[in-house]
């Protein structure tokens, strides 16, 4: 019997039980849609994180407090084992003279920012003037924090684009006064949008002079044992070739500053952009794989549903199978017919699932929650898996139908 004839018989059998066929496909539809959507969103998150990190330049070293970690653990330490001090920044500034473009300390905390009747909890960063260039921010209006602002401890603030929109609704904010935790700051600039990523929004922020923060805002939270602390120190290196040398110098200087013996474990981390990118990419890939595996379970459940329905179909059509065998149908023809029915269910479910998954990923992108990247490999993977599920779970019912004895099948009631 020709494939086309088998296909027509399969379609006719499925149309005879429309509701049952639709419900049977539902598991495959949900599984495939989930796989496509999660893989697309995962790839989008990875691309967004990569873009965010690379926008800061490839020659950036960042020093963080905390015991040395490797792999994903470096991102999610439950607590910091030590502190970085403002004096560490001063030491690096004095000692690192070759191959250095800028050295930038920062201290960050969340505060309530008010203007008029609007009030938002915003990340407030105390920084120096080099922070703008080191982190690739562009000023949309006004100016950034200056060296004079730090030296004079001026009450000046620069708003991220999202913060400016939240507080001023798109109106000009330069020259206005905002309240940060009850302290009045004059807005001297607004930044261009950098967008959001898996690291959070780079626009929902307020920058103030670091020295102003220490003296008038941060209070005791920014000190430890009467020493000013920082959350990080960024070191911009002039050339890629000098990265390893500068990293070794930083480690040596801060190890000595923290009075650590050569055998002692480091109580700080020196991460390059490539290290951070590799770690974050590893985390997102693991999460995407894990979520994809969970979605794959629903495909297996859908496959079991297909096998169950096809077994019922074999039982219901026992006499039909007996008649076909009595007039000369071979085992292979019966086997092929039932496999085609199973594969048709899987493939239709796979096609609908792919369309649904692409739609879900597109909704996430349009809503701005996270950019998704729909790739051909994720669609091919989901489609192939759906086809494989159909073949695998259709084999047993098909073999059972093919092995029915004609006389037994004809006498079946």
Q: What is the pLDDT of residue 195?
A: 66
Q: What is the rounded average pLDDT of the residues 139-157? A: 95
CA distances from 111 to 123, 154, 200 (A): 7, 18, 17
Confirm if 83 and 65 have CB atoms less than 8 A apart. Answer: yes
Phi, psi (rounded to 5 degrees) for 88: -65, -40
* Whole-structure pTM value: 0.62
**Residue-by-residue DSSP string for 318-359:** HHHHHHHHHTT--HHHHHHHHHHHHHHHHHHHHHHHHHHHHH
- Cα–Cα–Cα angle for 56, 58, 63, nearest 5°? 75
Q: Which residues pair with 270 in a beta bridge?
A: 63
- pLDDT tens string 80-97: 447 899 999 999 999 998
If you ran DSSP here, which 8-state letter would residue 135 be given? T
Is residue 380 pLDDT above 60, yes or no? yes
CB atoms within 10 A of CB 266: 17
- pLDDT tens string 30-45: 888 888 888 888 777 7
Q: Which residues pair with 177 in a beta bridge?
A: 186
Is residue 23 pLDDT above 70, yes or no? yes
Is residue 134 pLDDT above 80, yes or no? yes
pLDDT tier for residue 410 given thresholds of 50, 70 and 90 = low
CA distances from 38 to 260, 285, 288, 403 (A): 45, 11, 7, 41
With residue 369 as reference, give the H or E element that holds it: none
Is residue 203 pLDDT above 50, yes or no? yes
Q: Give the HSE-up count for residue 136: Cα atoms under 13 Å, Cβ half-sphere.
A: 13
**Residue-by-residue DSSP string for 97-111:** -SSEEEEEEEEEEEE
Q: What is the rounded average pLDDT of the residues 146-157? A: 95
């Amino acid at each position: 019997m020709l494939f086309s004839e088998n296909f027509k018989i399969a379609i006719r059998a499925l149309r005879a039980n429309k509701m049952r066929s639709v419900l049977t496909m539902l598991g495959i539809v949900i599984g495939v849609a989930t796989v496509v959507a999660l893989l697309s969103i995962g790839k989008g998150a990875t691309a967004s994180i990569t873009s965010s990190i690379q926008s800061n330049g490839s020659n950036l070293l960042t020093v963080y407090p905390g015991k040395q970690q490797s792999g994903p653990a470096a991102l999610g330490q439950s607590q910091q084992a030590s502190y970085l001090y403002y004096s560490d920044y001063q030491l690096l500034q004095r000692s690192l003279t070759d191959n250095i473009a800028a050295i930038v300390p920062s201290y960050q905390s969340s505060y309530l920012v008010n203007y008029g009747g609007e009030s938002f909890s915003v990340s407030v960063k105390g920084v120096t003037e080099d922070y703008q260039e080191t982190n690739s921010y562009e000023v949309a209006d006004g100016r950034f924090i200056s060296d004079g602002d730090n030296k004079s401890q001026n009450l000046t603030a620069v708003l991220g684009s999202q913060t400016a929109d939240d507080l001023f609704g798109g109106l000009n904010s330069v020259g206005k006064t905002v309240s940060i935790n009850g302290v009045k700051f004059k807005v001297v600039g607004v930044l261009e949008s950098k967008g959001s990523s898996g690291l959070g929004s780079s626009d929902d922020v307020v920058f103030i002079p670091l020295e102003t923060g220490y003296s008038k805002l941060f209070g005791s939270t920014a000190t430890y044992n009467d020493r000013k602390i920082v959350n990080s120190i960024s070191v911009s290196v002039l050339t890629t070739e000098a990265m390893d040398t500068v990293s070794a110098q930083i480690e040596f200087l801060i190890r000595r500053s923290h009075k650590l013996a050569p055998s002692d474990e480091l109580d700080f981390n020196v991460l390059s952009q490539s290290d951070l990118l590799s770690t974050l990419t590893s985390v997102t890939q693991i999460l995407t794989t894990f979520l994809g595996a969970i979605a794959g379970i629903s495909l297996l459940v859908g496959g079991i549903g297909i096998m169950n329905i096809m077994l019922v179909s074999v039982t219901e059509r026992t006499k039909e199978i007996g008649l076909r065998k009595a007039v000369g149908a071979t085992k292979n023809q019966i086997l092929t017919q039932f496999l085609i029915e199973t594969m048709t269910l899987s493939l239709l479910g796979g096609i609908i699932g792919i369309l649904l998954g692409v739609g879900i990923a597109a909704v996430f992108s349009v809503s701005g929650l996270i950019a998704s990247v729909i790739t051909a490999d994720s669609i091919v993977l989901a489609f192939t898996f759906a086809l494989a599920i159909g073949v695998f779970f259709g084999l047993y019912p098909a073999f059972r139908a093919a092995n029915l004895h004609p006389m037994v099948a004809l006498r079946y009631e």
